[in-house]
Structure 1
């Protein structure tokens, strides 16, 4: 079994890390390069940067942030937000990112997954999926545009398709759990992990160390991602890893 990974997520807006609840009331959480360097030192296994102001101006800002970050850290990092073409991917990878995250663009143009994987390798392509439970269907639905648009696509169908198209990893965010700090969405995470063979990063709902233990023990998730609890020092990465090891989880 592969060792589990702990991944802080940095939402970057106009060159600064921000964090809010349900995409509103954003608070400044610091300089992304400085935060990335701290997480690298503290033992994070990877980082994910999401450009949430991905206008043309935002994209150029992000390329510069990626370049500066790559000079400061030694762990892999993924960059997503506003990436909608192979050329966009190339720019971000050239600036120093290790992987590319695509979400809305992949739903609107699934061929982008194939093209990115063929050009840069499956290991570079992370498909981010925002899912919410649909009571009528009795299963989860995919949302796009930062969780604002329902797609009518069943999440379990979509995860299988992205795997088949060449994605190397899935970043799975539960919209129902996101921001609650009540724990990861175990039923959703379990169902997705059982549907695919590629690694799944669980995201949304982490508030305690126990929540990471739960998701690793009760689902096939390969990694746990969080933002607020790390940015505001509610949980430190070294303390979290110590607790996971003492709980019997193989950790890097």
Structure 2
């Protein structure tokens, strides 16, 4: 599957190689999409997500999807697999629930990658939101953050801090693993909101076949059902200062000032 190789010796050669192989990359993504549709990863995602989304959309809501931190899929086979999974999920949502849009952003995308994403039917964001997307209550928003830094998850939770978390789902690094493996000092500086909401999160780890362990390892689906959020103390919601990071700790690309 990983037949595409970028020539890295000279910048001009790299650009020509990317342009010449856009169609090949597109075909590779579609081939991987079909491969993933027959795996336990895709099956478990559908079993976990669709009932929740269908129940949530019963009151007239629609479904949005947002992806941050996909990575350079013209260079990395891992990013191509993650893109293929996002494409497969988007297609499934379109056929099963009132789906509106899928937006994608990574500050490292080159022009050809943005063009290819548009060809695949995605909306490419041009502004670095740093994950601070406040979601509307008339939609369920599925966030896909494959192997992103802790600060991006933290920003997303902060932006929706409160009972409104019931309107989002996060596919990405396990919150449980993140809180258990990260020293307390780092948690407080880069993932405070992840640590604070983890006890009130419904987390479904995905079963990852060995051949995809480098691509989807440590991936879970996180939702925030009202029955759990209703048990949160008001003092936790009131502790809602905007996160501030040092560049050394954050694992995030900040927007240009």
Q: TM-score, normalised by structure 1?
A: 0.32
* Structure label with greater radius of gyration: 2
Which structure features the higher share of helix residues? 2
Q: TM-score, normalised by structure 2?
A: 0.31
Which structure features the higher share of strand residues? 1
